[in-house]
Structures are given as structure tokens and as C-alpha cells.
Structure 1
Amino acid sequence: MRHAVKILRAEALKQHRQIFGSKLVILSMLVWPLLQLAETYYMLQPLAATPGIADRWPLAADPQRLLAFLATGALGFTFFFSLVQSAWHFSMERQTGTLELLFLSPANRLVMVVANGFGALVQNVWLFACFSAAMLTLLDVVHVAHPAMYAVVFLALLLPAVAWGAFLNSLLIFSRDSAFLYTLLDDPMWFASGVRLPTFALPGIVRAFGSVLPLTGSLAIVRGALLDGQGVGELAGELAALALLSAVLLLAAVVALRTGEAKAQHTGQLRLF
């Protein structure tokens, strides 16, 4: 346990020095989501005057609830996409030679990739607090069944994001073209996960793709708990599905790490695909 804590601390410090050490970067972490939120809100706001919109999407007819819907989507996307960026930077260590040193170390491989993703999340926790405080203060739309649901919401974002980060790290450190995966997980992720549009408005094939992304389940729980006042009992199905998906992602990360390292030992190259 102490060994794992040391790895977590070391990776978090490395993340801070490499990516988050600049004040300009920290400022952009807040400005960028706010700009994205404003852009999406004013793009969708005219829909509120569309005849029959309340029957198709009741939430869109209420400007405050629409803003809260988009704010939770922006929050979740920022959480998960920060891990895509973190994994992309992690993959660059293969080119600099740092990754080889890490694999020669006695560090547990799964703990190492989890720590790398968790380090990025630590840098973004303050963003969650800012968004939550703004929603609670400015918008009279947050209704929770019990104060403990705030902890459920936070864990529904944090734990799947950690599993997602571990899975991405295990893929990108063995990928020949990490830029391709980075692009693939940018726009498709926010589009298919219901970040800006409800999932019921998407085509069936897109909904099927989005169902295997943990961000989709996290947003369903966040919005259900904060905007619809649902409790743990009402969200039990979503929570169980998200827990199962997180476990599958961690298992897939273990398999990818073992397969990639075994091939690296055989060929001398950190390229699995």
C-alpha cells in the first residue's frame, strides 16, 4: 500500500510539473470549459421558442434547466477529456525514453497507469468545486433527494474516470499513432455521451457507441441526482452498470499492459498496434 501511495504521489507531481505547472494553463482549464458552455448554450437557446419543444424535450423549454444540463455535460467532459490529454502526454514518454525506465522499475504496472490518470484528475478537482458552487448559487434547479447524493455524484465522476484513464494509458503507451486515438476520442466522445444533446435524440448506432463510454453513465447519474432529485434506489441500475463498466475497463487495462509488455520483451519495441 505504501508503495502504491509513493507511485501516486510521484505521478501526480510529474503531471503537475509537465502539464499544470503554468498559471496560464490553470487559467485555460477554467476559461475553455466556460467558453464551450456559453457557445453551446447560445446555440441551443433558440430551440426554446420552437413549437412543440416542451413535448419532445421539456428541459429545453426552461432556460435555467437547459443551462444546468449543459453545465453538467461540460463538467463531465472536462473530467474525462483531461484523461485523454493525460494519456496522450504519457504516450510521448515512449519517445523520450522515460517509459523504458518506468518498465525497468519495480513499480506495479496497473498502479502506474492508474496513478498517471489520477494525477491529472487531482489537478481538475478544483474545477468540479467551481462548477458545483456556481450551479448551486446561480441556478435554482438543483434538487437532491439527500445531501449524501453529492458524494454519489462525485464518485460517479471520479471512479469511472480513473478506470477510463488507466485503460487509455494502457492503450496509448503501446500505440504507434497516439494522435489518431486522441482525435477519435475528442468530438465523438462529447457527441455520443450526451454532453450537449440528450442521448434519446441521437441515432441508434450512436447511442450504442455511447453506451460503452463511461462518460455516458456518469452524466446520467449526475443529472439524475442533481436535476431530477433521484436517489440511490432510483439510480441503482445506472450505478451498477457504471460499476461494471469501470471494472471491465480496469480488466482491459491489465490485459493490454501484460500483452504489450510481453511483446516488448520479445521484440524490444514498445509497439503493440
Structure 2
Amino acid sequence: MSGFSLTRVGAVLIKEFKQLSRDRLTYAMMLLMPVMQLLLFGYAINSEPRHLPTAVLIQEDTVFARSVVAALKNSLYFEFAAQARTPAELDEMIRRGDVQFAITIPGDFTRRVARGDTPQILVEADATDPSATGGAVAALAALPNQALARDLSGALSPRQARAPFEVVVHRRYNPEAVTAYNIVPGLLGVILSMTLVMMTSLSVTREAERGTMESLLATPVEPIEVMVGKLAPYVLVGLIQTVIILVIARLLFNVPMLGGWAGLSLGVALFIVGSLALGFLISTLAQSQLQAMQMSVFYILPSILLSGFMFPFRGMPGWAQAIGEVIPVTHFLRVVRGALLKGQGLGDMWRELVALSAFVCVVTALAMARYRRTLD
């Protein structure tokens, strides 16, 4: 056996570089994946969100009430997005998820402050994601001593000896701030994405590699028939996974299930079909199982990081939220959490269901357009 040769090493090295240049998808993934991770973790991830959308019900328009609103805004945690006219309208805003906080300033607020009766301001927080509201709720502790510091002057100066009012916080939908109530329902979307997209893309690509797809293409089967026939078994798999996850969530983690079954069922069906169609689309793009796996991961990683599963969605910058709104997992998580934790009905989650329906239509159309009846 001949000794070590740098010439042979160089030949193998050149061969590998040529092979890598031919597999452009793998090369692109190697370069894009670390860049994407760096950008997402560096810019998009924020565990202490600020400028959270807030609705306020001011039952008296006085200087003291306006000072409280200004102090909340200056804390940078609260961004006033709406002003309710009735308690029912305020309750509807937070139940639909339009706002993160709902603040009520009572009608006798100024009179009771002047009399030293220590009135109460009600702050209702959507605590389905405890990490999204923790910082803002903590900031409320300093509000009574700071909000009216300039207004309590002259004859009202003695009122500054103690807090002129009290802030009462109601953590709705998750009063004990149990993280599992947010994470476990969210796992349904992540698990379905990881299994269905990856399984479908690998299954179809495997047939192309083994040559069985060539036999299928020789038959008079239409593209939509191939897609339905190949995806139907995985629909059943997805439904079984959904049932198992929901049962475990209830029995082991005691996740509340307040209803909304019609919207949840429709959301699950749309998400399963859309995920399978996406896997089929990936299989039409990938030339090998390795490429199918890489493209699946390239979809799953942003789905985990930008959907609101691991980090508060409203804590991300605007551009990251815009990307997150395009990801179907984002809308599916809202459907699942809204149904289980809030008992939302079809009327409350129609926007998310429309987004999932659009995802199914677009991905299915692209998959059909990419499907080739003859092999290259």
C-alpha cells in the first residue's frame, strides 16, 4: 500500500467541491440556515415585549383619568389601540385577542381620589401566554405612586402620603400563569407540522428515488388523484395525533378545554390538509430525501420561532410579525389556544380560519402546478 499522498487528497477535495456545487440546494441551506438563526434569535426574539395593544374604558373624562392613561403609555409596555364604549365591548376585544390588556377607569375615580377613598382601576390581562404579560403586570406596581404625582398638589398634597388609588389585575384565561396551558396546546401545531410535512415530503421523494413513481406516472392517474390518494392515509394519522395530544393535555397537564369545538375541528382539518399539501409540494421540488428533509426543516424552524409558540408574538419587531403572519402555524396556534383557553366560536376565529383556507388553496395549487407527469 502506498503512503499518504497530498495529490490524492487534493483530488478527493476537488471532487467534493464539484459535488457540492452540483447540489446547490444543500449548499444554499448550509449558508442560509445559520444566517436565518442569527437574525431570528438576534432581532426577532424578545422575552419581554413592550408596546402591547391595550383597550381602555374611561367612564369619566377627567384630568386624573388622562394622567393615568399617560403614565401607562409612558411605561412603554402599553400601546392604546382602542377605546371601548361599554364593558361588553371591552370584554369582546380581549376575548377575541384584539388586545393584550383591557383597562377600566371607573366613573367616580376623581371624586374618590380627592376624598382619599383609594378607588380601584381594573386591568384585565390576556394571560394565555404568561411570558407576554409578565413585564407589563410588574410595571403596574409603580403606577399608583407615579401617575398622579403632579396632579395631587395644593389641598390634595396630603393624598400623596399613600397610594391614591389601587390597581387590580385580573389574569384572564390563565389566572395562575401556568406555562403548560400555553405551551401544550401550541405543541399540537408544531408536532403536526414536523410529522406531516416531513413524512409526506420524504414518502413521495422516496418513491421517485426508488423508481416506483415512474410506474405511477405511466398510469392514466390525474395529478389531483395522485395527491389525494397519497395524502389520505396521512390525514388519518394527523387526526389520531390530534386526539392523542388533546387527551394527554387534559389528563396529564390539566389544560382547560372551554369549548369552541366547531372552530377547532375546522382549524385542525384545514391545517392537516395544508401541511400535507406543503409536504407534497416540497417533494416536487426536492431531488432526494436529503433535500426534502432540508426544505422541511427550513419551513419548520421559522414556524417554531416566529409563530408565538416559544416566544411572545407581540414581542417581535414589526417585520418579524409580518413574516409570522404568513406562517400557517401562527394562525393555527391562535385557533387552538382560542378554542381551548377562551372558548372562542367560529365568529371569533374567522380571520384565522380564512388564513388557513388561503394557505390550503395556494399550496395545493402550487403542488399541482409543480407535479410532472413525466420524469426528467
TM-score (norm 1): 0.66
Q: How many residues align?
A: 212
Q: How does 1:67-82 map to 2 (within 5 A)?
A: 67-82=180-195
Q: How does 1:175-186 map to 2 (within 5 A)?
A: 175-176=286-287, 177-186=291-300
Higher share in helix: 1
Using CA pairs under 8 Å that are at least 6 residues apart, name the structure with larger relative contact order, 1 or 2.
1
The answer on whether the counterparts of 1:94 and 1:173 sit within 8 Å (CA) in structure 2 is: no
Provide the residue aligned with 2:284 in structure 1.
173
The answer on whether the counterparts of 1:170 and 1:253 sit within 8 Å (CA) in structure 2 is: yes
Q: How does 1:64-213 map to 2 (within 5 A)?
A: 64=178, 66-86=179-199, 87-137=201-251, 138-139=253-254, 141-144=256-259, 149-176=260-287, 177-213=291-327
The answer on whether the counterparts of 1:214 and 1:242 sit within 8 Å (CA) in structure 2 is: yes
The answer on whether the counterparts of 1:113 and 1:165 sit within 8 Å (CA) in structure 2 is: no
Identity of aligned residues (%): 23
- What is the alpha-carbon distance in structure 2 between the residues aligned to residue 196 and residue 187 of structure 1? 11
The answer on whether the counterparts of 1:143 and 1:227 sit within 8 Å (CA) in structure 2 is: yes
Residue 189 of structure 1 aligns with an amino acid whose one-letter code is S
- What is the alpha-carbon distance in structure 2 between the residues aligned to residue 140 and residue 194 of structure 1? 18
The Cα of 1:237 is off from its aligned counterpart by 2.0
Q: How does 1:219-258 map to 2 (within 5 A)?
A: 219-257=333-371
Structure 2 unmatched ranges of 5 or more:
1-128, 141-170
Label 1:69 to 1:54 Cα distance change in 2 as closer, same or farther (>3 A): farther
The Cα of 1:52 is off from its aligned counterpart by 4.3
- What is the alpha-carbon distance in structure 2 between the residues aligned to residue 47 and residue 195 of structure 1? 11
- What is the alpha-carbon distance in structure 2 between the residues aligned to residue 48 and residue 164 of structure 1? 28
Label 1:134 to 1:53 Cα distance change in 2 as closer, same or farther (>3 A): farther
Label 1:237 to 1:226 Cα distance change in 2 as closer, same or farther (>3 A): same
Label 1:68 to 1:244 Cα distance change in 2 as closer, same or farther (>3 A): same
Residue 193 of structure 1 aligns with an amino acid whose one-letter code is S
The Cα of 1:117 is off from its aligned counterpart by 3.2
Larger radius of gyration: 2
How well do the aligned residues superpose, as a CA RMSD in angstroms?
3.0
Label 1:244 to 1:55 Cα distance change in 2 as closer, same or farther (>3 A): farther
SS where residue 348 of structure 2 aligns?
coil
SS where residue 187 of structure 1 aligns?
helix
Residue 192 of structure 2 aligns with an amino acid whose one-letter code is F
Label 1:236 to 1:179 Cα distance change in 2 as closer, same or farther (>3 A): closer
Structure 1 unmatched ranges of 5 or more:
1-44
Label 1:100 to 1:73 Cα distance change in 2 as closer, same or farther (>3 A): same
